[in-house]
Chain A
Amino acid sequence: MVRYAAVRLAWAVPTVLGIVLLGFVLTRVAPGDPVQAMIGEFPAPPGYADQIRERFGLDQSLPTQFWLFLTSLASGDLGFSFAHNAPVLDIILDRMANTLLLMVPALVLASLLGMLLGVLGARRAGTRLDTLVTVVTISGQSVPVFWLAMLLVLVFAVQLGWFPVAGMLSITGSDTAFGVVGDYVWHWVLPGITLTLAYMTVVARVARSSILETMHQDYVLTAEAKGLNRREVMRRHIFRNALPPIVTVIGFNFGLVLTGAVLTETVFGWPGIGSLFVQAVTNRDYPVIQGVFLFSAVVVVLVNLLVDLLYPVIDPRMRGSHARV
C-alpha cells in the first residue's frame, strides 16, 4: 500500500511540474507588460520601470527566472504579488479557505443527492421517475452555471430580497460566533445551491448508469434468484459494486474544488480562489497566476491519489491489483 502510494506520488510529480511550467511559460510569453500594469496611468520617470523590473527579478533571462521560481518554491516561497503587495502564499491560503467554505458543503450535498437520484433513477429504470431523473441530469449538464447563478440572483436576491446579492459575510459582521455562522450560511445559499445543482447532476448521471450496469451482472441476478430481499441486494451487491465510477466522478469534482468555482465566485463576488484568479489575470499578476496554477494542480493530484487509495477499500476485487478505473 505504501509502495503503491509512493509510485502514484512519483507519477504526480511530472504532472505538477508540467502545470507549473505551463503557467510560467504562459505568463512570460504573453504580450503586455506587468510593470506597466503596476505603474498605472502615469508617465513613469525614465529608469523607474527598470527599477521595478529589477526588484521583481523580471530583468533576468527566462530560464534564470524559472530556476529562481523553482528554488524559492522549494523553500515554500511562492513569490510576491505585485497587485496585492503581499506574499502569494498568504493570499492564496486566505482565499482557499473561502473557496473551501463555498465548495465543500456544495460538493458533499451534491454527492449525496446525486447518489440518491442515481439510485432512484436506476431502480425505477424506464418509469416516469427515471425519465424525470434523466431530464434533470441532462438539463443540469446543459445549463451554463453562471447563467443559473444570475437567474437565482435575479429572482431570490433582487426580486424577493431573501438573500444577499453578493459576498460571503456582511460588512458589519456579527459579534457572536453563532451570528457569524448564520451570516455565512445566509450568504452561502444562492452560490451553494448553484454549485450543488451543477455537481449533483454529474454524480446522478454516473451513479444511475453505473448502478444500472451492475444490476445486470450475473452475480446480482444470482443473488436475486437466491431470493434475497431487494433492499439487501441493492445495498450489499449492487451499490457496493457500482461505487468505483461514482467515487471517481466525486473525486474528480473534489479535485477541481479550487477552480470549479471560478464562474460562480465571479457572479456572486465570493472572495475565493476563482475570483482571485480572474482578478490576477486582468491585472497581469504573474506570481498569483502561477500560484493558483500550482495550487490547483497539487489539489487535483492529491485528490486523485486519495481516490486511487480508496479503490481497494471500497472494491474488494481490486485489492492487490490496484488497477485504475
Chain B
Amino acid sequence: MHVSRKQRWGWLRSSTAATVSFVFIVLLVLVALVGPFVLPDDPAAISRQALHPPSPDALFGTDHLGRDQLTRMVYGARISLLVGVLAAGMAIVVGIAVGACAGFFGGIVDIALMRMSEFFQVIPTLIVAVAIVALIGPGLGNIIGVIALLSWPQTARVTRAEVLRVKQLDYVNAVRCLGHREILVLLREVIPNSLPAVMPLIALGVAEAILQESSISFLGLGSPDTISWGLLLHDGQQNLLSAWWMVVIPGLAIFATVLSLNILGDAVSTALNPRLRLTGRVRRKVVTP
C-alpha cells in the first residue's frame, strides 16, 4: 500500500519518452484550460479570409468559413480531453465495480457479469457507437456515455483477475475472520489493493476514448457547436484537396496526444510490474481501425 515517493515517480524518469510525453500532456492541459482566455477570437467567428493557408496572421490557417484554425484547435483540445477523461473515468469506475463484484462474490454473479462483459467485447464497437450516436443524437453527453458503455469490460476483466488474487491473500482472510461484513471487506481491503493493476488503464483508456470520439465526430455525427479535433478533421476531409492544413494539423494533435498517453500508460504498467519490463506485456484492448 505504501509507495515511496521515489517509487511513485520512478516510472516517469524511467524513459525519456515517458518524460517528454508527460510534459506534452501537461502543456496540452494548460493550453486547453488557459488558451480560450488568452486567444482573441471566438472559435465560431467567420471571416472573408476563407481557406487561407498557415501564415503569421493565422498560424494554423483558416477553414472554409474563414474561421481561425488555431483558435478552433485550442477549443478542440478542451472538448477532446474532456471527452477522453470523462468517458475513460466512467468506464473505469463501472469496470472496477463490475470486475470487483464478479471476482469477489464469484458463482452466479461472476458468470452473469462476465457473460455481459464478454457480450460488450464481441460486439462491433464502432458500429454500435455510430448507430447509438446517430440515432439518439449528437450531444456531448451521449458521446461520452456511449464510449464509456463500450469500454468498461476491459477494466472489469483486469479488476476481476486482480481481485481473485487479492482475496486469497492472508491478511484479507484475516480481516474476514474478524467477522467484518463482506461488502466492507470488498470496499476497504480488496478494491484498494487491486487498484494498482488498473492504473495503466487510465492513460490507455483516455487515449482510446479520444480516438473513439474523433472517429465519431469524423463521420459527421458530432454536434457542430461542440468543437473537437474529430470535428475539425471532419471539416478537413471535406476540404481535403484544397486545404491540407485542415487535415494535417488536427490529426497530428490527436496522434501526438494519444501517443503520449499510450507511452505514459506503458510506463506506468512497467513501473508497477517490473516483470513486464522484460516482456513489455500490457493488457490492452485492440484498437479497431
Please state if B247 and A263 are interface contacts (CB–CB under 8 Å): no
Q: In whole angstroms, what is the CA distance A15 to B69 when docked? A: 45
| A134 CB contact (under 8 Å) in B126, B128, B278, B280 | B280
Residues of chain A contacted by B251 (CB below 8 angstroms) = 144, 147, 150-151
| B215 CB contact (under 8 Å) in A139, A198, A263, A277 | A263
Interface size grouping (class) on chain B: 35 or more
Shortest B158–chain A CB gap in Å is: 15
Residues of chain B contacted by A267 (CB below 8 angstroms) = 237
Please state if B279 and A151 are interface contacts (CB–CB under 8 Å): no
Please state if B254 and A144 are interface contacts (CB–CB under 8 Å): yes
Knowing A147-B255, A213-B279 are in contact, say whether A300-B123 is a contact too (CB < 8 A). Answer: yes
- A153, CB-defined interface residue at 8 Å: yes
Interface string of B248-272 (1 = CB under 8 A from A): 1001001100110111001000000
Instruction: Kindly specify which of B100-108, B130-138, B175-183, B184-192 makes contact with the partner chain.
Output: B130-138
| B263 CB contact (under 8 Å) in A138, A208, A210 | A138
| A266 CB contact (under 8 Å) in B123, B137, B219, B263 | B219
Q: In whole angstroms, what is the CA distance A208 to B211 when docked? A: 24
**CB closest chain-B residue, reference A209:** B281
Number of cross-chain contacts by CB at 8 Å: 149
Please state if B287 and A141 are interface contacts (CB–CB under 8 Å): yes
Shortest B29–chain A CB gap in Å is: 18
Please state if A142 and B258 are interface contacts (CB–CB under 8 Å): yes
Please state if A153 and B240 are interface contacts (CB–CB under 8 Å): yes
- A311, CB-defined interface residue at 8 Å: no
| A300 CB contact (under 8 Å) in B122, B126, B236, B278 | B122
Please state if B122 and A154 are interface contacts (CB–CB under 8 Å): no
| B279 CB contact (under 8 Å) in A147, A212, A249, A304 | A212
- A27, CB-defined interface residue at 8 Å: yes
Q: In whole angstroms, what is the CA distance A27 to B130 when docked? A: 12
Please state if B123 and A22 are interface contacts (CB–CB under 8 Å): yes
**Interface of chain B residues 214 through 238 with chain A (CB within 8 A):** 214-215, 218-219, 233, 236-237
- A256, CB-defined interface residue at 8 Å: yes
Interface string of B114-132 (1 = CB under 8 A from A): 0000110011101110111
Shortest A255–chain B CB gap in Å is: 7
Shortest A82–chain B CB gap in Å is: 15
| A213 CB contact (under 8 Å) in B134, B136, B281, B289 | B281
Q: In whole angstroms, what is the CA distance A1 to B207 when docked? A: 41
Interface size grouping (class) on chain A: 35 or more
Residues of chain B contacted by A153 (CB below 8 angstroms) = 240
Please state if B288 and A256 are interface contacts (CB–CB under 8 Å): yes
| A281 CB contact (under 8 Å) in B134, B247, B259, B288 | B134
Instruction: Kindly specify which of A64-72, A176-184, A218-226, A290-298 makes contact with the partner chain.
Output: A290-298
- A146, CB-defined interface residue at 8 Å: yes
Please state if B124 and A252 are interface contacts (CB–CB under 8 Å): no
- B9, CB-defined interface residue at 8 Å: no
Shortest B250–chain A CB gap in Å is: 8
Please state if A259 and B280 are interface contacts (CB–CB under 8 Å): no
Q: In whole angstroms, what is the CA distance A293 to B119 when docked? A: 14
Residues of chain A contacted by B131 (CB below 8 angstroms) = 23, 26-27, 281, 289, 293
- B3, CB-defined interface residue at 8 Å: no
**8 CB-based A-B contacts, threshold 8 Å:** A22-B128, A141-B287, A142-B261, A144-B233, A151-B251, A158-B240, A263-B218, A292-B127
Listed in ascending order, the chain B residues whose CB lies under 8 Å from chain A are 118-119, 122-124, 126-128, 130-132, 134-137, 207, 211, 214-215, 218-219, 233, 236-237, 240-241, 244, 247-248, 251, 254-255, 258-259, 261-263, 266, 278-282, 284, 286-289
